[in-house]
Structure 1
Amino acid sequence: MPIRPVSLSLQRLGIFLSAWALALAVVLPVSAADEGTATAETENIKVEPLPESRIQDGRIMPADVPGNEVFANGDPEKGRQLYEDGVTADGEPIRATTKGDISVTGTQFSCVNCHRPSGMGSSEGGNYVPPITGSHVFNKRVLNRELRNERFKEFYKESQPKSFWVELRQPRLRPAYTNETLARAIRAGVAPTGRELASIMPRYELSDRDVANLIAYMRTISIEDDPGVGEEKIHLATIVSDNTDPTLRDAFLKTVNIFAEWTNKDLGSQIARPNFSPYYRSEFIDSFKLWEMHTWRLEGPRDTWPEQLEAYYAEQPVFAVVSGLVKGAWKPVGDFCDAKRLPCVFPNTTLPRIEDAEGNYTLYFSRGLQLEGEVLSRFLAKGDTAPETILQLRADSASGRTPADAFVQAAARDLPNAEVETRGFATGEEVEVAIAKAAADAGDIDTLVIWPGDHAEAAVEALNRHAPDIATIVLPSPAFEVAREKVDPALHDRVRLTFPYEKPSGYHPRSFRVRAWMRSRGLPLPDWRMQYQTYYALTMLQFGFEHLLTDYHRDYLIEIIEHEAENELNPGTHPNLALGPGQRFASKGAHVIALDAEARKGHKAVSGWIVP
């Protein structure tokens, strides 16, 4: 079965159940639990008393908060703008007060920063931010399995200070919010029970219209499962194109399908025995769904891919796309996923869609070849002697133009005194001619950079034949395997490669477990890095579902992965993988390596980890 994260297991749930029952007995009378009132309501540890002027007939009724009818007809789209962008209906930035007397304004304190796009809340820095989805806010909060499960992740899968656990154990029972009481919470920081909300919660200075708009939008947030979720199954897809190497494509699909098969064996055995509950798993059995894995095969010209993807999605919507293997730029797939608000979890690509990636729906390992172009510029600038004349040879394709353009832009900043010339080529024969000419002009060139695209083998063979007498010759990481196998050892001391992966001396214990998992299932390993990356994407999805429980919202899945990407699931492909809110590139830098037949794995790092 797939290797599960072991940071905090379900074994501790039994302790949790007992502690929860004890906490209930201490802080909440039975009648309060039955009626759903919130005598123990609190959003922080220290509660300040309310001024007497705020209490009328035993209720908290601020004079500036009108009745429900004022907030009944808001514009959800304007509310989304306020929630996500921190902009009022008049186009002005929001204003608020936090921590009692700190005035703030602008997008830094928009709702989405803490409560997240899904409305499911978050936990950072020892602070718990509760969910504010439509189903959470507009229903009363009572002590039941849903409330317990809602906080399972925070209790048992995160490292938090003791003060956080004390706060989290408060039941926060309350009646359902009305428009009026929600307006009071937004403006004055007062819960329906009259208790003060946490001081970190901003008190917003909003007009009646803005409050109405925000409430209208909150009624739409994560109110039902997203497409692709069935009663017993969750539909998932992976994407391949017909122009990829058949051997790699076959190994990729076998990795995906065997992982899904073993995941279903594990889930199926638990679902089949609901009364056999080691580690209290029966408490979560209603959240278990079998994986129905679909393979979306893209064929023919790239401009037909969007239509093919639409057809696949129309036939069977999926909840998420996991990994993927296509030749060329990922942009057509990324555009489709963003349009459908469909999570796409760590595809194998060196050409991610960079523009508007942040905050959207595709999570990438790195910026790929664009990153390599920028790292190379920084590496050359930090050398003992900065180059003066640099010749770039680039393929007339995205894998040639993308890093070449990135290098030119970065060199203008990092190497202002260097002269950079770029020459293009379209075929293997043309790269041969270009390298031969570079060898003839070697006296005028101190650095040769080659972005060969699909012509890496032709480029390496041309280098061997012409052996240009140039101090530094650079190739990108996609040419690594060909270079390691075929570059003439006489050129090893001059050839360098940009390498956005872990260096040979890096040590990741999980890599051994992943390799054992693959070998024990008879998987071919023609490209272990690609398959390890695929395994990582699959385990992140599996781990995300363990956190989702019954809240099958796509935005929430992405938020969980953002929060957990740096967990100990990295199989050793990169030094570190981590995401923050809205970030879409998990690895931020690269090494520069040299070929060395005597070194472990045939290469060694000649730079530190460079983050441009």
Structure 2
Amino acid sequence: KNSQSRKRKQPNISAQSWRSASYVNLSLSQWLLKGPEETWRSELEEHYRREPVFALIGGMVKGDWRPIHDFTEENHIPSLFPITDFPVVSETDWYTLYLSKGFYQEGESAARYLNSIAETLEGKAVIEVVRDSIEGRTLSRGFQETWLETGHQPAVSVTLKKGEPPTAKLLDQVLTGKKQYTLVLWDGPEALTALEAIAASANKPERILISSGYLGKSFLTLNEGLRDITFITYPLGLSQEKFGYRFDIPLMKKKVSEDAEKILKKTYSLLNMLTQALIEMRGNYYRDNFLDVIGMMKDQRDPLYERLSFGPGQRYASKGCYIVQLGKGPNPELIKKSDWVIY
């Protein structure tokens, strides 16, 4: 059997015939995790003992989603579209459906992009500089695992401690005589000033890769002198406005923060998928059927990502991430340098 095969275990939840049921009553429970991460598991178990729910819908935590992921996996509870940048990336786990792989997906796409231009990298170094943070470590894991998977030797990796800037001197120490190199920099907005100094040094990189997810909107302020050599992972859609796609999200009519806007768009996707799934289940309210129905849905246009798609055994709906460069000026155009999905 392949890695996606599984034993089907039916929960103790009754189902009514679609023909005989005129309607189904649904209730929504709110589970709040009040303690530190190490207490989440016991809190979840207590919530589940009191309220044995059919599925977990959405949800947010500060940090890694793994404690919730492991809980739902072990209890065979479907979990639909938790709002997290740090999902569990697994080829075998079954019960959590994620919008994307989060920061891991950006690192993964950077590695695939470099692999697509591998001929230009022969005899040259790939240097990865990583901020010691959950964002930096996750980006690095996606990059390094995919770089190895595509047949390359591990990239030289340097970790930046809190408050330590990336510098040209630091890079000189790890280049070991090679003068031509690609710099993969996983750091936040504070890195932009340091990049200017690196690019002005005698040992300027041929190209630089950075993460729009980690930098936030500050990546749009990248110095114009760096834009020709800087490539940016961009995991969001670019075609919505271009092709006139519009999404009716009532709360979006008010001015909200960038983070709140993303949460609203992800919640829209969650509710849209949930509504379709409940209709298509046709009264057969079993957990595995819920997952199977979603796995058979057509591709969905989405207000945040380029598109959402599932298939049998697939657990990450947004499968792509562009590599872009910035155009000129204070309001730069995003110039695509790759397809949505990079092979």
What is the TM-score with the length of structure 1 in the denominator? 0.48
**Residue of structure 2 in register with 1:500 after alignment:** 235
Q: Aligned with 2:190: secondary structure? A: helix
Q: Aligned with 2:22: secondary structure? A: helix
Q: Does 1:537 align with 2:286?
A: no
Aligned residue identity for 2:274: L
The CA deviation at 1:526 is 2.6
**Residue of structure 1 in register with 2:246 after alignment:** 512
Instruction: Give the RMSD, CA atoms, in angstroms.
Output: 3.5
Q: Does 1:449 align with 2:181?
A: no
For 1:460, which of 192, 197, 203 is the aligned residue?
192
Q: Does 1:352 align with 2:119?
A: no
Q: Does 1:473 align with 2:208?
A: yes
Aligned residue identity for 1:556: N
Is the 1:484–1:602 Cα contact (8 Å) retained in structure 2? Answer: no
The CA deviation at 1:605 is 1.3
Is the 1:372–1:403 Cα contact (8 Å) retained in structure 2? Answer: yes
Q: Aligned with 1:392: secondary structure? A: strand
For 2:108, which of 364, 374, 398 is the aligned residue?
374
The CA deviation at 1:597 is 4.7
Is the 2:189–2:215 Cα contact (8 Å) retained in structure 1? Answer: no
Is the 2:211–2:233 Cα contact (8 Å) retained in structure 1? Answer: yes
Identify if the C-alpha distance between structure 1 residues 555 and 413 changes in structure 2 by more than 3 Å, giving closer, same or farther. closer
**Residue of structure 2 in register with 1:491 after alignment:** 226
The CA deviation at 1:420 is 2.6
Q: Does 1:225 align with 2:14?
A: yes
**Residue of structure 2 in register with 1:607 after alignment:** 338
Identify if the C-alpha distance between structure 1 residues 503 and 340 changes in structure 2 by more than 3 Å, giving closer, same or farther. same
**Residue of structure 2 in register with 1:342 after alignment:** 77
Is the 1:391–1:447 Cα contact (8 Å) retained in structure 2? Answer: yes
Distance 1:347 1:597 in 2: 37
The CA deviation at 1:459 is 1.9
Is the 2:72–2:96 Cα contact (8 Å) retained in structure 1? Answer: yes
Q: Aligned with 1:297: secondary structure? A: coil
- 1:185-227 CA-to-partner distances (Å, cap 9, x unmatched) read xxxxxxxxxxxxxxxxxxxxxxxxxxxxxxxxxxxx567428x
Unaligned runs of 5+ in 2: none
Unaligned runs of 5+ in 1: 1-84, 86-106, 119-220, 230-282
Which one has a larger percent helix, Structure 1 or Structure 2?
1
For 1:578, which of 309, 321, 330 is the aligned residue?
309
Q: Aligned with 1:394: secondary structure? A: strand
**Residue of structure 2 in register with 1:205 after alignment:** none
The CA deviation at 1:337 is 1.0
Is the 2:167–2:197 Cα contact (8 Å) retained in structure 1? Answer: no
**Residue of structure 1 in register with 2:318 after alignment:** 587
Q: Aligned with 1:225: secondary structure? A: coil
**For 1:181-260, what aligned pairs fall within 5 Å after superposition?**
221=10, 224-225=13-14
Q: Aligned with 1:292: secondary structure? A: coil
The CA deviation at 1:386 is 1.8
For 1:333, which of 33, 43, 68 is the aligned residue?
68
Aligned residue identity for 1:583: Q
- 1:513-561 CA-to-partner distances (Å, cap 9, x unmatched) read 334x3335x4735333442122101111122122234332222111111
Q: Does 1:410 align with 2:146?
A: yes
Distance 2:131 2:35 in 1: 22
Aligned residue identity for 1:560: V
Distance 1:494 1:607 in 2: 15
Identify if the C-alpha distance between structure 1 residues 308 and 610 changes in structure 2 by more than 3 Å, giving closer, same or farther. same
Distance 2:145 2:273 in 1: 34
Percent of aligned pairs sharing the same letter: 26
What is the TM-score with the length of structure 2 in the denominator? 0.81
Q: Aligned with 1:575: secondary structure? A: coil
Distance 2:239 2:24 in 1: 39
**Residue of structure 1 in register with 2:288 after alignment:** 555
The CA deviation at 1:457 is 1.9
> Which structure is richer in relative contact order (CA contacts within 8 A, separation 6 or more)?
2
Is the 1:322–1:345 Cα contact (8 Å) retained in structure 2? Answer: yes
Distance 2:77 2:96 in 1: 8
Aligned residue identity for 2:141: D
- 1:369-424 CA-to-partner distances (Å, cap 9, x unmatched) read 333333222212323622611111112344323332343343345464x7731111
Distance 1:225 1:446 in 2: 61
Q: Does 1:435 align with 2:171?
A: no
Identify if the C-alpha distance between structure 1 residues 317 and 460 changes in structure 2 by more than 3 Å, giving closer, same or farther. farther
Distance 1:580 1:337 in 2: 20
Distance 1:289 1:393 in 2: 53
Is the 1:447–1:473 Cα contact (8 Å) retained in structure 2? Answer: yes
Identify if the C-alpha distance between structure 1 residues 578 and 333 changes in structure 2 by more than 3 Å, giving closer, same or farther. same
Distance 2:170 2:8 in 1: 52
Identify if the C-alpha distance between structure 1 residues 439 and 605 changes in structure 2 by more than 3 Å, giving closer, same or farther. same
Aligned residue identity for 2:14: D
Q: Aligned with 1:585: secondary structure? A: coil
Aligned residue identity for 2:297: E
Identify if the C-alpha distance between structure 1 residues 379 and 599 changes in structure 2 by more than 3 Å, giving closer, same or farther. farther
Deviates more, 1:527-536 or 1:500-509: 500-509
Is the 2:97–2:316 Cα contact (8 Å) retained in structure 1? Answer: yes
Identify if the C-alpha distance between structure 1 residues 395 and 308 changes in structure 2 by more than 3 Å, giving closer, same or farther. farther
Q: Aligned with 2:310: secondary structure? A: coil
**Residue of structure 2 in register with 1:137 after alignment:** none
Q: What number of residue pairs does the alignment pair up? A: 333
